Structure 1
Amino acid sequence: MKDLLTGKVVLVSGGTQGLGAGIARAAAREGATVVLTGRATDRGEVVAAELRDLGTDAVFVRADLSDVAQAQSAVAATLERHGRIDCLVNAAGLTTRGTVLDTTPELFDQHIAVNLRAPFFLMQAAIADMVQRGAPGTIVNVISIDSHGGQSFLAPYVAAKAGLAGLTKNAAHAHRWDRIRINGLNMGWSATDGEDVTQRHTNDAGADWQQEAGARLPMGKLGQVDEIADFVVFLLSERSGVVTGSVIDWDQNVIGGLG
């Protein structure tokens, strides 16, 4: 499939690295005009320049997504530049560790701010534009397989991501008659930039940790950024048909499966 997003304006939060950057690249290859947002100006400008080299109109808008006003300003900047927003991807995420017993209020609030509140208000601003124009649109929220329960050291992360899964369904139900399709992706263990940093610095993993980890998994590898990005683009595009309100497990372990 080619040109799945030709003529579409796509805003990608967390588009400066990892999966967000991968989604931005995949969207650009499919003909989209792309706006990236996140905190890292240097990385954001590099990715935007790379996308422009692919022939798309791409721009980076700096925003600290933990600040609601800055998150909303990314949508405002998209509207000012392009006059509309057709697709939104909430790919930004915070994965710092914390258990039920040692999570501080400050850490909990950080996870809620980035992993739940930012997607909520980015969706609010994007949907408001779509409704005002009477135009269809699509949104994909990158959630996590951990929204089903997760590991004990991810308590605040799980709380926020589980909230995002519920929000995805709620917003999809609320705006289905506006022809706004909203879906989520519960991403499993994947070979992202952030996961590499976590494994090397938190778990003292070696340079070949991905190969070692993949050998212990059913498909022989971790989830790959380009594969996930292509699937997100499919969900953003008309080729995914009428699907809305779906939260899809992108993983090779089956929730509820035993033995």
Structure 2
Amino acid sequence: MGLLDDKVVLVNGGSQGVGAAVARAAVREGAAVAVTGRRAEPGEALAAELTAAGGQALFVRADLADAERARSSVAEVVAAYGRIDCLVNSAGLTSRGTLLDTTPELFDQHIAINLKAPFFAMQAAVADMVTRGAPGTIVNIITSSAHGGQPFLAPYVAAKAGLMGLTRNAAHAHRWDRVRINGLNIGWTATEGEDVTQKTFHAASDDWREQAAARLPMGKLGQPDEIADFVVFLLSERSGVVTGSVIDWDQNVLGGLD
């Protein structure tokens, strides 16, 4: 038996990167999966890949910057599968901005994707779970930078720190509904999106991953499939009663100094 047998899992921002890895892991563990994304091509390709591998998968095109779309995407999953058991909020915006140069527009973009979308997706998912009187699980992909982060991540940090607090608040509010909500503060991770970010904002060369890995304690960046396995564990009954935990999934130790 798989860890997520007969579960319905929605992965927001699931068409690439960490989200896509979570979708693959969830299908491998027996779940029916839906993924959201702004672009149809990668989302439909992933759904086709998972279906061809024998799983149940669908793609829901959604710009999660629109809060109503974040809610309605949950409704589409419920319409397709009859319910939602698990939600993973993995969509993220990582464009750069400091305290001094961030515009109100950039700030609002970060809040929309990194905080508002998870809020309203959780609202819709938990409403379905509560209405059915059924247990459920949610995992929010946050960031180790939520503890403070780099100066050039000011709006990102502001939004993700909010998501960290929201995770604990929602977990406390719905523990008696048997809805478990946890978060992962992931560190530097090798994804397609991070490759674009490094080249766009930091003029990185094609071998930036190798250069970065050489400077890290474990000799590598975080890997999406490793994060996905951890997410599946938190979504599953194997993680027991754990709720309201925000786990630092990183190789640097908060508070540790050299």
What is the TM-score with the length of structure 1 in the denominator? 0.98
Q: Once the two structures are superposed, what CA deviation does each residue of 1:66-117 show, in whole Å capped at 9, x if it has no partner?
A: 1011111110101111110000000000001000011111100000000000
Q: Is 1:186 aligned with 2:185?
A: yes
Deviation at 1:202, TM superposition (A): 2.2
Tell me the amino acid that sits aligned with residue 238 of structure 1: E
- Residue 12 of structure 1 is matched in structure 2 by 11
Amino acid at match of 1:11: L
Is the partner of 1:58 in helix, strand or coil? strand
| Structure 2 match to 1:242 | 241
| SS state at 1:84 partner | coil
- Number of positions where the alignment pairs a residue of Structure 1 with one of Structure 2: 258
What is the deviation of 1:143? 0.3
Counterpart of 2:115? 116
Aligned mates of 2:94, 2:34 — CA distance in 1: 24
Which 4+ runs in 1 deviate beyond 6 A? Answer: none
Distance in 1 (alpha carbons) for counterparts of 2:95 and 2:199? 14
The residue identity in structure 2 corresponding to 1:26 is A
For residues 68 and 209 of structure 1, the distance between their equivalents in structure 2, rounded to whole angstroms, comes to 35
Amino acid at match of 1:191: A
Q: Report 1:155-234 matches (<5 A).
A: 155-234=154-233
Distance in 1, Cα, partners of 2:174 & 2:239: 17
* Alpha-carbon distance, 1:201 to partner: 2.6
Identity %: 72
2:59 partner SS: strand
Question: Residue 16 of structure 1 contacts residue 44 of structure 1 at CA under 8 Å; is this kept in 2?
Answer: yes
CA deviations 1:21-77 (Å, max 9, x no partner) are 111011011111001111011110001001101211100011110101111111010
How far, CA to CA, are the matches of 1:129 and 1:184 in structure 2?
20
| Contact map agreement 1:175 1:181 (CA 8 A) in 2 | yes
Question: Which amino acid in 1 is paired with 2:241?
Answer: V
1:258 Cα deviation after fit: 1.0
Distance 1:115 1:194 in 2: 15
Task: Report deviation, 1:218.
Answer: 0.5
The question of whether the paired residues in 2 share the 8 Å contact of 1:29 and 1:54 is answered with no
**Residues 1:134 and 2:145 are matched in the alignment:** no
In 1, Cα distance between the equivalents of 2:47 and 2:246?
Answer: 29
Structure-2 separation of matches of 1:24 and 1:177: 28
| Offset of residue 207 of structure 1 | 1.9
The alignment's TM-score, normalised by the length of structure 2, stands at: 0.99
Task: Name the structure 2 match of 1:254.
Answer: 253
Unaligned runs of 5+ in 1: none
On the 8 A contact 2:7/2:32 being kept in 1, the answer is yes
In structure 1, how many angstroms separate the alpha carbons of the residues matched to 2:90 and 2:73?
Answer: 14
What residue identity is the alignment partner of 1:258? L
* Residue of structure 2 equivalent to 1:27: 26
CA RMSD between the two structures? 0.8
Structure 2: 5+ residue stretches without partners: none
1:36 aligned residue: 35
